[in-house]
Chains A and B, each alone.
Chain A
């Protein structure tokens, strides 16, 4: 029986940290059968990254790992051992998809590059997500999220005029690269289904960040300018609108694509915002500091939620800054049953974001917690590959699993 959209799609997951696990998370959320392969003893590096309950590090309790790896089955395998490689190839033989996000030199050094795996399974779609891609002069550069943000060009455009550029919090580049990886993988899977061919998919986090740069990535080709950050004076991108402090947080009026008159009327502020010199967008750049000050005076004493709801009543598509507490208590997210509670044997019952979609006629299934390290060894090695429990003990002794 076909239950979920990707039911029956077999994915081998050799990923760690953020980009790769986010990619396979999207696939498993849609019903793909994902087997996550981790290094014996250590496991995924994300297991050592917080947040942890009470800030006490524990490899089975990392909030980051738990979130990115729900519903996957987990096995351990030492890919440096010959037996480990042999077992890996057995798994690859009947997989549809393999996703990995090592540095580009790693898979070839293990003797598990695409050319080798293609011989094992010509239909395999192998997706490699790396910081800079599988080719080019930066290929073997050492990376971190912030490095991909810098070279990807997005960082330069974020922040104050004269201060250092600043990246998004968390790992937005790797997250988007994971989604890009999942989409690209499914395009290759479609091609496999139609034409019977597998192939190698190369996803670069740096290029993903570049894609994210809206017009900034190409505007030089369209007129020879490079955009900087916020304005020198007034600092708040005055003409575009920005984050304004209010009584209990921050309100975000977005000023583009709206008649200025409407904004003046909404705030009932003909005397301040209604000044003739503010009526054109060029004027609002020239007098940005005054526009900012006038707006701030109008938001300072009001509440963020009240401003948000009243602006929506005026059909102004504005926003507020929400933090984790606001989100967990958001009536819209609650009405859509967005959050789910998942009970993990060691980390306990916690609130997780669910998925950002509803599919007609296909309810989202009960989601299993992230796997303990090696939790599904017996299930996969014995039931799927036909090893005996005795074999398993031997593999364990030889530190293959």
Chain B
């Protein structure tokens, strides 16, 4: 067995929230040494809610679930970059790194005096990626952006949502994730380039543009036909039936997608060959597509009395593409993910034994490994400063007393303004935001009681 594929690569990561942290976590999972540099005066927004067990606890900043999802396998140093000594330490980290990653608005690294021209002096073959909302140039370069807003901005929401309904902003910040995977590709490509040329590079990455990059066919359609594509719900330009159908139980659904006459016949047979299915309205693909309002209604009459997993199993056995719509609990217990060892169970110093999503992919000879839980704030201050920068215990203690490094946020008692403290579960359920809650979830999941 070979070791970790990215062993020997060191990344100084000053990214926050998701767009860059998700990328560096991917690389950390494959063995890159990622040193996450965090601010302790402006906390990473991913540290702030929703919280583990819906409790703020004594250290709310160690309980944020978004942070957990994006930072396992990283070392963490909490450093004040507003102070000259903090900047010096940052540069010493960069001197020993292959890659620097950041996702601030363009002005921030410049204001710190830590932008690419400065860092290139420190490390001439440095690879640096700046992933900002709108890129480092252009009239909107200083515009603020959340992943949540970039999805509508970049043309994705325009084609997402119910037919004739409002555009839908999905429940997740899509651009952050697509941006993260593209950043992984760019960083790895830059390392290949450095191997061949000895040169580093600076990459100006736009999270807005990466969203437009995902709706290319709508741009071509506009260019070809001056057509503005719009929402079609769960429907497909040529397949029918192609939709999501109600099943028995509370808020249970199944999707079915039929791409050929053969699959249609198999679906009819699985439904027990009802008389309506023989109607010439549904005889061929085009007729089915044209009459799909009625078709969907009739199919739902069949699904509505059945279990969603059961419909999936019966249809898949018959050769029809179908899938149960899984909620978070069902995912956590899904047999397929279980057999593929998808979830990484681990013990976190503050929140105990939990599971996180495993690696994005499986490499047959050098698989990703979970080596470390998501770090606590400044957890590796001493380790990084002593082992990597060769500082003595006294020097490190001095940095702590001068407020250059820390393991607690400034103003630790208060949540940053605008953040939701905690949404009581009863309120979440009443409002319909939460569909299920199991107090004994640890038992259900087979996690130890702690």
Contacts and interface: CB of A to CB of B under 8 A. Distances in A.
Q: Please determine whether chains A and B interact with each other in the same assembly.
A: yes
What's the interface size class on A, roughly? 35 or more
Given A2-B193, A324-B229, A327-B154, A200 B364 contact: yes
A207 interface: yes
B399 interface: no
B113 interface: no
Contacts of A324: 155, 158, 215, 218-219, 221-222, 227-229
B283 interface: no
Contact of B259 (A30, A144, A148): A144
Interface in B302-348: 316, 319-332, 334-337, 339-340, 342-343
A160 B136 CA distance: 37
B149 A144 contact: no
B30 interface: yes
A220 B441 contact: yes
A317 B143 CA distance: 7
A268 to B, nearest CB: 19
A381 interface: no
A98 interface: no
Contacts of B171: 154, 157-158, 214, 216, 227, 229
A312 B142 CA distance: 9
Interface stretch (B162-170, B273-281, B402-410): B162-170
Contacts of A187: 5-6, 27, 30, 184, 188, 363
Contact of A358 (B135, B166, B196, B419): B135
A353 interface: yes
Given A320-B153, A322-B153, A146 B332 contact: no
Contacts of B322: 142, 147
Given A228-B433, A332-B138, A285 B50 contact: no
A227 B429 CA distance: 9
Given A222-B53, A286-B427, A66 B220 contact: yes
B146 interface: yes
The secondary structure that dominates the B interface is mixed
Contacts of B233: 166
A209 to B, nearest CB: 10
A243 B152 CA distance: 8
B84 interface: no
A188 to B, nearest CB: 6
A142 B316 contact: yes
A259 B418 contact: yes
Given A133-B340, A220-B445, A319-B145, A353 B216 contact: yes
Given A5-B193, A228-B434, A154 B172 contact: yes
A324 B226 CA distance: 9
Max chain B Cβ within 10 angstroms of own Cβ: one of A55, A135, A160, A243: A243
Contacts of B174: 168, 172, 176, 212
A190 B188 contact: yes
Contacts of A346: none
B388 interface: no
Contacts of B144: 312, 315-317
A203 B254 CA distance: 24
A64 to B, nearest CB: 5
B355 interface: yes
B291 interface: no
Given A188-B5, A199-B365, A170 B217 contact: yes
B173 interface: yes
A142 B317 CA distance: 9
B111 interface: no
A241 B232 CA distance: 23
A365 interface: no
A181 interface: yes
Interface centre among B166, B238, B361, B423, by most A CB within 10 Å? Answer: B361
Interface in A132-153: 132-138, 141-144, 146-153
Interface string B347-366: 00001001111001111111
A179 B178 contact: yes
A385 interface: no
7 contacts: A146-B244, A193-B195, A206-B336, A351-B222, A352-B223, A353-B219, A356-B206
Given A6-B189, A157-B171, A243-B168, 4 more contacts: A6-B192, A154-B172, A183-B181, A322-B152
